[in-house]
Amino acid sequence: MCGIAGIVNFDQSKINPELANGIKKSLEHRGPDFSKVDYINENVALIHTRLSIIDLDQRSNQPMYSKDNRFSIVFNGEIYNFREIRKTLEEKGVRFFTDGDTEVLLEGFVHYGSKILDLLRGQFAFAIYDSLEGSFFLARDRVGIKPLYFSLLDEVFIFSSELKAIEKSGIIPFSADYDSYISYLRHLSVPSSSTGNKNISKLEPGQYLVINKEKSILKNKYWDPFSFEVDHSITENEAILKIEELLFESVKYRKVSDVEVGLFLSGGLDSSLIGKIMSKNTNSDVKSFNIDYQEHFQGYEGEVDEARFAASHIGVNLIEDKIQYSDFKEIIDNYSFYQDDLVGDEVGIPLYFLGKSAKDNGIKVVQVGEGADELFYGYDHWIRYMKLNNLLRPITKSRSSSFNFKSHRGNMLSNILLNRTSFAGGALGFNLPEINNLLVEGITSEYELIHFVDNKWDDYFSNKNSYLSKWMTLIDLQIRLPELLLMRMDKLVMQSSIEARVPFLDHKLIEFVLSVPESIIFDKNNTKPLLKKVASKHISEEIFNRKKQGFRAPVGEWIKKDENYFYQAIKEFNSTTGLFDQKYLNKVISGQDFQKKWYLANLAKWHMSRRSS
């Protein structure tokens, strides 16, 4: 895991070394072991900060060059099957001088071009510069585990692992993207290629980009979860055996490392099953980590007892830590800076402290259970939603655009009846009627991004081979996972220089799960039925059948301790932007929905921190 960046001045002007070094410094939390700026020529620079995990020797430092010096690479992530790819290339006569995956990735690109992406199994964001053509090739992994941002403004092209590295460079000015802000209110993240900054874009999951010396940008989608079809010939027993095989393979791949690999352990099915597989055939105990709160709160009783039981059962060491309000106050002023892009989920706060705990205990790499709920139907509200859809049918053929109920339950009912997008994703901040009331002018035609999910809904259900249950997984693979859950994991944990690996999101496993028939993978009375059958072979029923609590943070209780601090940020934001109707905003602020207050305060602090920088 590393930090990468690059700059091209297309007008051939010389890159300012202070500027390049500033970008490097801003990424060093991602790679504290080695950092470097390389000037390919006066107007092209590559920047890399390294977290040494595979081939710890300095020979694997980056930027790295092909043997003829035509190609140079900066790479963030891990290619788990690099040894297999290396063997194939060696059979073609390629000689390697390192034992790492970066050289394999570079030589793979030299031999296969963009087709190397089809061979990669891992999590990655990388950029390769072709000095002969004067072009850059940028790519992001299939699921979006690793981020990659870029900007082309006037004569400058710049890219980086983090939005704030580009913003702090001073090259690209901040310009608030209200379209992204409004979409954030709906999804708690920003879909598609947009960011909160109008001048900066992000590469989407499963996408690569080529920019040539004429400043022409070509994007291509090389992997799309919507392209996989259900295979009705798969039996339940075949599905259980195949998922077990793929999960074991995935966890084994994510143990590939020259440093110790730990585990974030909640004590539930997902992390416990990963931990059990990790602990098999190993000579040393796996270190696992759990965060609890000093003060428990309504709706969340903590998971430390469950984590202790699971750790004892699966044979891993558990390292516990607690956070309290003073810890929250310590991070809150910098939280919008740490989270980087617009991410509304407050769970980034405990993740930040989990990362610190791992670092304090000598761990650089952890495996985590993200993605299992989305793939295997782990949410009770998904089941309730499917039951509701079995009872109701649309009363109109065309989608109604009128806004009705503001309550989530009433809004869902009206969406189903009026043939609208009734499941916009697993992360929901404000629904459309609420946003329409919150905005001074309502949802006008200038706000297009907020309907990104609605357009995907229409496209998907225009196909006769569409399934509502599959849609729920697919849309979370499109928005919630890559732009919210995985970004909070990457940005907040990487503040402590910790790499997170997600075995449930191995693309081979995802592709198979998407092909499994609904009758096998979904149960209207039980969450994760198929995964539980796999887990029953390896962990206690007390673990995989325990009531799901979910990883949360007591943000409402924390806001109550200093409400004016949060409300002031919201008021300052609105006085600056004029985006929200003051009367409706006051109603939200004076209400009892503290989650919504957090979402607004988070947006406000994110905007104001950039406006003042």
- Given a cut of 70, whether residue 92 has pLDDT beyond it is yes
Range scoring the smallest mean pLDDT among 187-196, 358-367, 461-470 = 461-470
Written as one letter, the residue type at 579 is L
- Given a cut of 70, whether residue 123 has pLDDT beyond it is yes
Which pLDDT score is estimated for 557? 85
Contact assessment for residue 115 and residue 96, using Cβ atoms and an 8 Å cutoff: no
Cα–Cα distance list, 80 to 83, 139, 156, 174, 507 (Å): 8, 17, 34, 37, 12
- Given a cut of 70, whether residue 470 has pLDDT beyond it is yes
Two tokens, residue 443? 């949802």
- Given a cut of 90, whether residue 397 has pLDDT beyond it is no
Which pLDDT score is estimated for 117? 98
DSSP states of 230-243 as a string? Answer: --TT--HHHHHHHH
Give all domains of the chain, ordered by start, each with its CATH number. Answer: 2-223 (3.60.20.10), 227-376+475-544 (3.40.50.620), 556-613 (no CATH)
Which pLDDT score is estimated for 522? 95
pTM: 0.95
Range scoring the smallest mean pLDDT among 323-327, 339-343, 476-480 = 323-327
Beta bridge partners of 3: 49
Q: Which residues 6+ apart lie within 8 Å of 52 measured at CB?
A: 33, 34, 60, 258, 259
189/427 Cα distance (integer angstroms): 9
- Given a cut of 80, whether residue 362 has pLDDT beyond it is yes
Range scoring the smallest mean pLDDT among 106-120, 170-184, 305-319, 533-547 = 533-547
Spacing of C-alpha 113 from chain mean position = 26
Span 235-254, mean pLDDT?
97
Span 14-19, mean pLDDT?
95
Of all residues in the chain, what percent carry a pLDDT higher than 90? 81
Confidence band of 48 (pLDDT split at 50, 70, 90)? very high
Which pLDDT score is estimated for 555? 84
Beta bridge partners of 151: 158
Span 152-181, mean pLDDT?
95
Full strand arrangement of the beta sheet holding 71-79: 64-65, 71-79, 122-130, 135-140, 207-211, 217-221
468/75 Cα distance (integer angstroms): 37
Which pLDDT score is estimated for 398? 67
- Given a cut of 70, whether residue 613 has pLDDT beyond it is no
- Given a cut of 60, whether residue 162 has pLDDT beyond it is yes
Which pLDDT score is estimated for 43? 96
